[in-house]
Amino acid sequence: MGTITSKLNKRVLLTGGSGFIASHILDALLEDGRFQVVVTARSDEKGKKLVDSVKPHNISYVVVEDIAKEDAFDQVFKSQPPFRYVIHTASPYHLDVQDPVKDFLAPAVNGTTGLLKSIKAHGPTVKRVVITSSSAAILNPDKHEPVYNENFWAPVTEEDAIRDPAKNAYRASKVRVWPCCDAGPRADDA
């Protein structure tokens, strides 16, 4: 009984569960043993495959087909409460850029702002949110700094992404996300 209660207190939502980084986070959460994990996947097929892949561990999934859509995460918080932690890894990371805005910027930015809005509206128990950024958000390969720190941002804009998608779409998507996260109060340590 004590274990079930404490696991409920440590319920984690992991977005983009089928992804590379998420698979390592999931391993760490399950190995730790204190967390009850719910992942998001883009389809039932991917969700079921993920659930089966970690057996005998017991996780569940919710389908979020496209994080760029408005209110994409609302149903997650309504159907699977209560979450204490949210780890947001769902974001495009590939080299096949057709449309930099639709394929990269919209899911990265709308996905993150949408998630934060859903938490605010429907996730009152959430104490901490982790969002995966990237060194791509700060590095300037054309003129590297001797040392990078939190004051640096990659000098890349949405226009740069449209002009040269292969080089800039992913970088711009990571830079553009940050202002969404930087607004508002931070959660207390929990």
Ligand X SMILES: NC(=O)c1ccc[n+]([C@@H]2O[C@H](COP(=O)([O-])OP(=O)(O)OC[C@H]3O[C@@H](n4cnc5c(N)ncnc54)[C@H](OP(=O)(O)O)[C@@H]3O)[C@@H](O)[C@H]2O)c1
Residue 106 CB, shortest distance to ligand X, in Å, is 8
Tokens of residue 112, six digits? 């993150």
With CB under 6 A as the contact rule, which of the stretches 54-62, 75-83, 91-99, 145-153 interacts with ligand X? Answer: 91-99
Q: By C-beta, is 132 or 168 nearer to ligand X? A: 132
List the interface residues with ligand X, window 99-138 (CB under 6 A).
107, 132, 134
Chain Cα centroid distance, residue 100 = 19
Question: Binding pattern to ligand X, positions 31-60, x when CB under 6 A?
Answer: -----------x---x--------------
| Under rule CB under 6 A, residue 66 binds ligand X | yes
| Under rule CB under 6 A, residue 68 binds ligand X | yes
With CB under 6 A as the contact rule, which of the stretches 26-34, 48-56, 90-98, 161-169 interacts with ligand X? Answer: 90-98
Helix axes 165-182, 106-122, angle to 10 degrees: 20
Residue 65 CB, shortest distance to ligand X, in Å, is 7
Residue 129 CB, shortest distance to ligand X, in Å, is 13
Tokens of residue 176, six digits? 């553009």
| Under rule CB under 6 A, residue 63 binds ligand X | no
Query: Which amino acid does the sequence have at 63?
Result: V
Question: In angstroms, what CA-CA distances link 164 with 70, 93, 116, 157, 168?
Answer: 27, 16, 30, 11, 6
Q: Which residue is nearest to ligand X (CB)?
A: 19
Site for ligand X, rule CB under 6 A: 16, 18-22, 42, 46, 64, 66-68, 89-94, 107, 132, 134, 174
